[in-house]
Amino acid sequence: MPPPPPKVLTVPAKNETVGHDVCKWLQSVIDRLKWWSPGNCQKLFLETELIELCYRAREQFWKSPVKLDIEAPVNICGDIHGQFEDLLAMFELMHPPPTNKYLFLGDYVDRGPFSIEVITLLFAYQVLHPDKVFLLRGNHESRPVNMQYGFFLECRKRYSERLYDAFQLAFYCMPLCAVISKKIICMHGGISEDLIDLNQLEKVDRPCDIPDIGVIADLTWADPDDKVLGYGGSPRGAGRSFGPEAVRKFLHLHNLDLIVRAHQVVMDGFEFFAGQQLVTIFSAPAYCGQFDNAGAVLTVAPNLVCSFTIFRPDKSYEGNTKEQKNSKPHKVSEHNEKK
């Protein structure tokens, strides 16, 4: 028989620096989640542990700028939305941190059944390996949204509203975008007409909620729309929509080559826009059990050559199949295989 799962460890003192005991505790959080199953999910953690993890994640986010600068290579992941089993499967196939570097584009919670496990694992990785795991904020990392779409009820049913509030404290301090090797910009939602200089983001005062309009709203809510030339209103009621010409001008203004964003279900796990100057990544396969979509991870190599690893739900057995497609930011059309 396999050995029993790791025992719950004593939570280190709040004023303790991230030393040996804290690292040991964080690793135990990760190790316990390897033993996760729907039947034992309530036996793995004390609520006080999860609240302490939220406090430490918040402190880590506060240390980070609103705009992260990350050097390739890195794996970029889109929405997860509480699909914890798919997150575990992705790490198994792509190799988990710290073996590989990861950038997540937000929307970790809501809709799926195990948001607490998703965000707990990612927070633990991010605090333990801050140079290997980077977490951006999505529109669902906001109280007005995750109060309605499942996360609040999950926290209240399984633990308490106190845990829910602790998660919000961390969410409200998360970075909003990242630039990879000075050429690829990443965010959850989309670009903003009001973002004239990326240094504007240094003036964002955290903790903050996500407003309905402005740069923060666009970075977390905006969507591409090929019927719009520049910028227009959004049917979501927050952020704006933007067209191919807006993408071209934004890249030229900021001397960038590619925009990587999430926020929308795309059936192949990735979808290009504006002459392949923007790509949407979605990493929750068979989303909510209502779609037959694939999930994808975008890997950026040191030379900025990009490859898509696609996870397709396989109806013949329990599990996902994997395939790869290669592309390059400067000349994506020469390398990407069309379906």
Q: Which of 81, 140, 188, 263 is catalytic?
A: 140
Q: Per the domain annotation, does 163 fall within a domain?
A: yes
Cα gap 92→89, rounded to integer Å: 5
Q: Torsion angle, CA of 115/87/234/191, rounded to 10 degrees?
A: 120
**What is the structure's pLDDT at 103?**
98
Residue 237 banded pLDDT, cuts 50, 70, 90: confident
**Strand, helix or coil at 128?**
helix
**What is the structure's pLDDT at 229?**
86
Contact indicator for 311, 86 with CB cutoff of 8 Å = yes
Instruction: For 13, list phi and psi in degrees, rounded to 5.
Output: -60, 150
Q: Per the domain annotation, does 74 fall within a domain?
A: yes
Q: Per the domain annotation, does 271 fall within a domain?
A: yes
CA nearest 263: which of 310, 209, 222?
222
> Mean per-residue pLDDT for 116-127?
98
Structural domain tally of the chain?
1
pLDDT tens digits, 142-183: 999 999 999 999 999 999 999 999 999 999 999 999 999 999
Q: Per the domain annotation, does 12 fall within a domain?
A: no
Q: Per the domain annotation, does 87 fall within a domain?
A: yes
**What is the structure's pLDDT at 183?**
98
> Mean pLDDT of all residues in the chain?
90
Q: The domain that contains 120 carries what CATH number?
A: 3.60.21.10
Q: Per the domain annotation, does 34 fall within a domain?
A: yes
**What is the structure's pLDDT at 25?**
97
Q: Per the domain annotation, does 10 fall within a domain?
A: no
Distances (CA, A) of 18 to 14, 25, 57, 292: 10, 10, 12, 42
Known catalytic membership, residue 81: no
Scored b (16 or more CB within 10 A) or e, 234-251 reads bebebbbbbbbebbeebb
Q: Per the domain annotation, does 7 fall within a domain?
A: no
**Strand, helix or coil at 19?**
coil
CA nearest 260: which of 329, 210, 322?
329
Domain that holds residue 247: 25-335
Torsional class of 82: left (φ above 0), alpha (ψ -120 to 50), beta (otherwise) = left
By DSSP bridging, strand 306-313 and strand 223-224 are unpaired
